[in-house]
Each structure stands twice: as C-alpha cells, then as structure tokens.
C-alpha cells in the first residue's frame, strides 16, 4: 500500500519579498528542496531564519527539509511550535497537522498520527489526508493486535515459567525427602549390626556357660567314679 506523504511548500512570495536578504535564502532553499537537495535547503532556510526567526514560511519549510532527511523528531518539534502561531491560516494549519501526522506515522506513533490527520481533516478535508488517516488507522489496529498477541505470549511464557519453577520446587522437595529417608535408613541400618553383635554375644556367653557347666559336671562325675572304685577295692 502506497503512502501519500504530502509535504506542502509555500511559494507565494511577492517581488518585494524577493528583494529582501532573508527571503532570498528562503527562495533558494525552496529551489534546492525541489531538486531534492534537502541538506542544502536546510542550510539556506536556517540562514534566512537567522535574519527573521519568526518567519512562518521559513520555519515550515525548514521542518519539511528536516523531515525529508529523516529527522522526524526535529521536524515534529517545529510543526508543534507552528501550531501555536496565530498567524497561520486554516489551510496552513491543516498542512502543519498533515505533516505532523506524517512524522508520527514514520515513527510508528499511529495514535498520534490518527489524531493529527483528524485535526487536518477538520480544517481542510483533503484526499491525501483522508488516505493517510485510513492507513494510520489500519496500522494502529495491527499494532494493537500485535501487542495483544505479544502480551498473551508473555502471559503464556510466564505461566510456563511459573509451572517450571513449581515443578523444580516439588522435585527439590522430593529429593530432600528422599535424602532424609535415606539418611534415616542409614542410621537404622547402622544400629542393626550393634544389636546383632549384642545378641551374638549373649548367645556366645550362654554357650560358654553351658559348656563350663558341662565340663564341671563331667569332672564331678569322674571324681565320684574314682572315689567309688577306691572304696570298692578296700
């Protein structure tokens, strides 16, 4: 879609105006502008404004030269200053609003562009302004849709991140629980050998006691048998 960017150049100078030094600079600046030499035009416009800083045409055309060089913020600043000048006619003011809308369109400030074009239409309805207004409305809607889509994507990413964080916390808690359980099991398993050794020791002691009693019983039996045989021999 082609964008019509209307940069109006006001050339309604009288013969007596051309004889004045500032306006000779403005006139030559207009020629340079029409030839596409926008930097040269800017220099000439600034020279003319040094002699007459309040010249409406010179300030307007300087803003146009800056716009053509991509200096959208600087040109918008001059356009906004011109809107406060009560010397502007309705048509001139409409042109300023139109070009101010162009600067906002170039910088993708579509809402500001729409507002500027609407003001221009109120003062002087023009096909170029109407076309640019329609284009700015379309781009503003697209921008809003893209922003909504980006917001939804950011929300989804945030939800996914929150879910991942929650899962990581749960996994960490589960690992900690497993570590605690393993530590408890190790402590319990560490106590069992001592308990087993103690029981083994009890069994060993009991076995030793039984063995000692059996040995004593055997010794007593041998003594009795020996005593009995001796008495029998007598």
Domain residue spans of the chain: 15-146, 200-234
Torsion of Cα atoms, 120 then 123 then 124 then 127, to 10°: 30
Distance CA 5, CA 131 (A): 10
Provide the pLDDT for residue 122: 95
Q: How many CB atoms lie within 10 A of CB 107?
A: 13
Provide the pLDDT for residue 8: 41
CB within 8 Å of 94: residues ≥ 6 apart: 119, 120, 121, 123, 124, 126, 129
The superfamily in CATH containing domain 15-146 is: Tetratricopeptide repeat domain (1.25.40.10)
Distance CA 101, CA 135 (A): 11
Provide the pLDDT for residue 19: 33
Average pLDDT, 10 consecutive residues per value, the chain (234 residues): 42 31 88 96 95 92 96 97 94 95 96 96 92 94 88 75 79 77 54 51 65 70 51 28
Q: Which residue stretches of the chain are H helix?
A: 15-18, 21-34, 38-51, 56-68, 72-83, 90-106, 110-123, 127-233
């Amino acid at each position: 879609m082609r964008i019509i960017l209307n940069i109006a150049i006001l050339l309604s100078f009288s013969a007596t105006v051309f004889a004045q030094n500032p306006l000779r600079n403005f006139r030559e600046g207009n020629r340079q502008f029409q030839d596409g030499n926008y930097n040269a035009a800017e220099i000439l416009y600034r020279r003319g404004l040094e002699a007459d800083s309040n010249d409406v045409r010179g300030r307007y055309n300087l803003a146009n030269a800056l716009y053509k060089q991509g200096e959208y913020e600087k040109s918008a600043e001059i356009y906004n200053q011109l809107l406060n000048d009560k010397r502007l006619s309705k048509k001139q003011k409409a042109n300023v609003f139109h070009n101010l809308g162009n600067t906002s369109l170039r910088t993708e400030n579509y809402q500001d562009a729409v507002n500027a074009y609407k003001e221009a239409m109120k003062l002087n309805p023009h096909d170029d302004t109407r076309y640019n207004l329609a284009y700015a409305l379309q781009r503003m809607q697209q921008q809003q849709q893209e922003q909504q889509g980006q917001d939804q994507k950011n929300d989804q990413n945030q939800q996914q991140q929150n879910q991942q964080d929650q899962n990581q916390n749960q996994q960490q808690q589960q690992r900690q629980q497993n570590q605690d359980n393993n530590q408890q099991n190790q402590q319990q398993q560490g106590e069992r050998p001592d308990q087993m050794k103690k029981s083994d020791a009890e069994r060993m002691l009991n076995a030793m006691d039984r063995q000692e009693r059996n040995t004593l019983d055997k010794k007593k039996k041998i003594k009795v048998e020996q005593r009995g045989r001796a008495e029998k021999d007598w």
